[in-house]
Structures are given as C-alpha cells and as structure tokens.
Structure 1
Amino acid sequence: MPKPGPAPRRPAPTAPQIEVRRVAATPAEALERADEVVDQLLDAGRSPGEILVLTVGEAHPWQQHELSFGEERYWAQLAEGGDVFYADAVPTRPARREVVVLVANGGPAARAAEAYAAALGHASVLLVVCGDAGPAAKGAAGAAPGRPVSA
C-alpha cells in the first residue's frame, strides 16, 4: 500500500490589498483637492463614518474647529464614527477607517513619507494621497490632475 505524500501546502493568508490613488497637487492645493476627494467619495455613496482625512502640514480647518470644543469631544467623534474625521497624519490615538485621504500640505519630505506609511495602516480599503508623499507613494499609483476619484 503506498504511503501518503506530504500534506499539500496551503498558501499563507495574505493581507487585503489596499487600493492607492494619487491626486496631483502642490502643498498649497492639497487641502482643496482633499476636500474635493471627500465630496466625490460621499457623492459615490461612501458613508461619512468610513472616511478619515489626515494632514501632513497644518491641521485641516474642520479639525481646528472641532478641537475648539475640547480634546475629549474631538476624540469622542472618532469613536462615534458618524462623520468624516480629520486628524494629524500621525494621530495620537488609533484611527482606522475604510478610506483614508492623506493630505501632503506641507512639512518636511521625511514626515510626508512617514505619514504615507502610517496612512496605509489606517486604511482598510482605499488610500487617496493628495500631493507629494514621497517616492513610495509615487510608485503606488498614477496621478492625474482632475481625474475623478470614485470608490
């Protein structure tokens, strides 16, 4: 009677692939382009609670507004998950959403590259990079000015 051979090897489970899209923008334009991307995502049917916007440079005006009500209320919005959440590119608390919009609106190039790597960990489905987040982001997807971002 033949001996059974070794058990077939099962492929190792792979992490889900995150789609990366780039939107060409200068640091001065990146915030405006990010707001357009958020509008497009919402128009395409994304729920506001699925979207996280992370800024590399100066904080998004909406983040500044929400922080004016205090840190506790600001972070409670992240936990509630009912609206688009705006934070620094390296948030001090864990933040994960289906869609992350990374805004390269200033700061050192090294910080933008670090923010890109971190943003990949915050997104579960889609990462949209508005502006230049370094060589890794450039290699991930093509950039096209004015190209609609659908999800």
Structure 2
Amino acid sequence: MVTAADATAVDVADETVDKLLDEGTRPGDVLVVTTGEQHPWAQHELSFGEDAYWRQLAEGEDVFCVHTTALPSVGRRAVVVLAVNGGTDSEAAEALPAALTKAGRSLIVCGDPQRLRQLL
C-alpha cells in the first residue's frame, strides 16, 4: 500500500513503477491498472488505435497500463500496480480482487488507505 489521493494516485503509481524498474524488475513484468481516468500513457497509445495498443500487451516488452474495466482481457503479470485514481466506491472495491488475480508476485495499491479500508 502506497498512500495517495485520487488526484495523485497515477503519479504515485508511476513513481512506484520507476522504483521497481530501478530495482531490476523487467518492464514486461509490470501492469498498471487505473480505476478512474485511463492512465495518460494508455490514452496516448489508444490514440493510435486499439490494435496497436493491445499489440503492445501481447508483445510483453514494456510496462502496460489498462483501466480496470479491461482487466478480463489482460493476462497475469508478476507485479500489478493499482492506482485508485477515482471511480465509484463499488468500482474501486471490485478492482482490488480483480487486480490481485492478475498479480503473480505482488500487488501494490496506490490510493487513500482510509477509503480502501472502508471498501474492504
């Protein structure tokens, strides 16, 4: 758990990913999931079309960012970083176990601990 407000959760998640990569985690082993607005990287990549975006997931060479609603389309990765950056309480509550099922080694949640405790 890494403390972050909804407005800062994506930035905190990005910092967390940077630390993981600095510690030797392979980029293709990391999945970033958002509960509110789509991650800026995903927004950018989706501007080139769905096919190009999903092809990057299939290639598995880089950190991949996805909205929680698309998690059923994503396989497991060693590390999942969940940025609770908005969404309804029910969406955030559903994102926690969904993200956990995608995490092979660890799940790191970036969000408001008080809100998350209430959701669990």
Q: Deviations over 1:46-81 (max 9, x none)?
A: 010000000000001000011011101100111100
What's the counterpart of residue 58 of structure 1?
A: 37
- Structure 2 counterparts to residues 11-90 of structure 1, below 5 A: 22-90=1-69
Listed as ranges, the gaps of 5+ residues in structure 1 are 1-21, 139-151
- Greater C-alpha Rg: 1
Q: Is the 8 A contact 2:89 2:119 kept in 1?
A: no
Is 1:111 aligned to 2:109, yes or no? no
Secondary structure in 2 matching 1:118: helix
The structure that is helix-richer by fraction is 2
Tell me how far apart the structure 2 counterparts of residues 134 and 34 of structure 1 sit (CA, whole Å). Answer: 16
Match of 2:82 among 93, 98, 102: 102
Q: Is the 8 A contact 2:31 2:64 kept in 1?
A: yes
TM-score (norm 2): 0.91
Tell me how far apart the structure 2 counterparts of residues 128 and 137 of structure 1 sit (CA, whole Å). Answer: 16
- Give the root-mean-square deviation of aligned CA atoms: 1.6
What's the counterpart of residue 117 of structure 2?
A: 135
Secondary structure in 2 matching 1:28: coil
TM-score (norm 1): 0.73
Listed as ranges, the gaps of 5+ residues in structure 2 are none
Match of 2:103 among 118, 123, 126: 123
What's the counterpart of residue 142 of structure 1?
A: none
Tell me how far apart the structure 1 counterparts of residues 13 and 37 of structure 2 sit (CA, whole Å). Answer: 13
